[in-house]
Structure 1
Amino acid sequence: MTKTIYKGKDRGHANHGWLDTYHTFSFAGYYNPDRIHFGALRVLNDDTVSGGMGFGTHPHDNMEIVSIPLEGALEHKDTMGNTTVIKKGEVQIMSAGTGIQHSEKNHSSKDTVKFLQIWVFPEERGLEPRYEQKLFNEDDRLNQWQTVVSPMDSIDPGVKINQNSWFSMTKLEEGKSLTYQLKNNKNGVFIFNLSGSAKVANELLENRDGIGIKDINNIEINATIDAELLVMEVPMFT
């Protein structure tokens, strides 16, 4: 087992007034040569956007972009003709492929929206852009894994990603344990603790802490306080 700890307090941080953002990996004005990516996982941003504000229309290409609202609602528009609202409990994926432009804005004029913005390198470049969002019953992740992202050719539930990658979420009650079994033993897992605290690989993960682990087949997670966690299983490469 090889593990790397990413403490929440050590993340990159920028407050632009309308946007308060934390970067687990190097992004925009934050650069850390030891925090570029974890395998195919390139970006993990923890964003809070003020009411009525958001990211204006901008381009992307050759990246799988996943958004997970944690509070409030996001308004999405793109050049494929999609105009949608994504709320807590839903997961959105946008495969940028050969190129796409989109905007993500706070759907509310007064309340903040909080969401995770996650980028994953695609398995193949130059693919046709695509968009998908799906609502998940959060009760179905109580003390068990709920798959919210899975590969295009997988029968597993979840929005589909152009990568050999799975995202799973759980709400684990204090004192409960849960084992994550890797779908592909060549992959690694990045575990992000959204709230509470949990012990993973003999490390205590508190609010917004993360841990990247590779060279394992499975990993046990023990909640020391009611915890909500996101596990991202991704291919590993230098």
Structure 2
Amino acid sequence: MKTVYHAANTRGNQNHGWLNANHSFSFANYYDPSRMNFGALRVLNDDDIAAGMGFGTHPHNNMEIITLPLKGDLEHKDSMGYSEVIKEGDIQVLSAGSGIEHSEYNKNRDKPINLLQLWIFPNKQNVTPRYEQLSIRELKNDNEFYQILSPNSDDAGVWIHQNAWMHLGEFNDNKEKTYTLKDSNNGVYVFVIEGETVINDKTLTKRDALGVWDTQTLTLKPGMNSKIFLIEVPMTF
């Protein structure tokens, strides 16, 4: 088993006033050649956006973009004609493919929003752009990891153009959990949203991360009131 540890306070931070962004990997004006990606996972941004503020219309192509609001509502508009509000408890996928433009704004005029946005390199280039949004509340399974994303359109959660899976877990039982990787060529990036977890005698706390590969299984012991995010991606692509 190989690992890489990313403490929360080692992430790149850019505070623009209306946007306070923490970058797990090099992004925008934050550049660290040792933190360009974890396999096919290119971006993991932890963004706080002020009330009524956001990103104006901008382009993307050939990237799978996944957004998870943790607190608050995000307003999305794009060149495909979608105008949606993504709420806490939803997941959104934007397959940029051959090219799209979109904007993202905090829908709330009286409070900030906190969200995670991930970019994953696709396994197909220049596909027709697509949009998908789903409530994952009904997928939740207390004290177990539950799937919210996969490569398969008929599986639980949303799907993307990559051999990748995402699972969330919310824990209060203080028991060990085992995650079995779906593909031996993949690794898993463990991101602690809230609380803590122990992996290989190492304690990860809020917003810490541990990338793990060259293993078939991963054993974790989440603490009480913990929320853990597992991102399984190909290590070569």
Quickly name the TM-score band, shorter chain normalised. Answer: over 0.9
> Partners in 2 of 1:138 and 1:172 — Cα distance?
16
Amino acid at match of 2:207: R
Query: Match for residue 222 of structure 1?
Result: 221
| 1:131 CA drift (Å) | 0.3
Unaligned stretches of 5+ in structure 1?
Answer: none
Deviations 1:95-149 (A, max 9, x none): 0000000011000111111000100000111111000000012682311111111
Query: Match for residue 158 of structure 1?
Result: 157
TM-score by length of 1: 0.97
- The reply to whether residue 177 of structure 1 matches residue 188 of structure 2 is no
| 1:172 CA drift (Å) | 1.4
- The reply to whether residue 68 of structure 1 matches residue 56 of structure 2 is no
Identity of aligned residues (%): 44
| 1:69 CA drift (Å) | 0.4
Amino acid at match of 2:65: I
Instruction: Spell out the pairing of 1:36-75 with structure 2 (5 A cutoff).
Output: 36-75=36-75
> Partners in 1 of 2:201 and 2:236 — Cα distance?
25
RMSD of aligned alpha carbons: 1.3
> Partners in 2 of 1:229 and 1:62 — Cα distance?
28
SS in structure 2 at match of 1:176: coil
Unaligned stretches of 5+ in structure 2?
Answer: none
Q: Is the 8 A contact 1:24 1:44 kept in 2?
A: yes
Q: Is the 8 A contact 1:71 1:113 kept in 2?
A: yes
Bigger shift: 44-53 or 154-163? 154-163
> Partners in 2 of 1:50 and 1:140 — Cα distance?
28
- The reply to whether residue 78 of structure 1 matches residue 78 of structure 2 is yes
Amino acid at match of 2:157: G
Q: 1:47 to 1:32 in 2, by over 3 A?
A: same
Q: Is the 8 A contact 2:139 2:147 kept in 1?
A: no
- The reply to whether residue 213 of structure 1 matches residue 226 of structure 2 is no
Amino acid at match of 2:59: P
- The reply to whether residue 233 of structure 1 matches residue 232 of structure 2 is yes
Q: Is the 8 A contact 2:171 2:223 kept in 1?
A: no
> Partners in 1 of 2:89 and 2:146 — Cα distance?
12
Q: Is the 8 A contact 1:19 1:48 kept in 2?
A: yes
Amino acid at match of 2:164: S
Amino acid at match of 2:114: K
Q: 1:26 to 1:138 in 2, by over 3 A?
A: farther
TM-score by length of 2: 0.97
SS in structure 2 at match of 1:97: coil
Amino acid at match of 2:80: M
Deviations 1:215-234 (A, max 9, x none): 01110110233210110000
Q: Is the 8 A contact 1:174 1:227 kept in 2?
A: no
Q: Is the 8 A contact 1:91 1:134 kept in 2?
A: yes
Q: Is the 8 A contact 2:139 2:148 kept in 1?
A: no
Aligned residue pairs, count:
237
Instruction: Spell out the pairing of 1:1-16 with structure 2 (5 A cutoff).
Output: 1-16=1-16
SS in structure 1 at match of 2:30: coil
> Partners in 2 of 1:154 and 1:235 — Cα distance?
18
> Partners in 1 of 2:85 and 2:137 — Cα distance?
17
SS in structure 2 at match of 1:28: coil
> Partners in 2 of 1:203 and 1:216 — Cα distance?
17
Amino acid at match of 1:124: K
Q: 1:16 to 1:138 in 2, by over 3 A?
A: farther
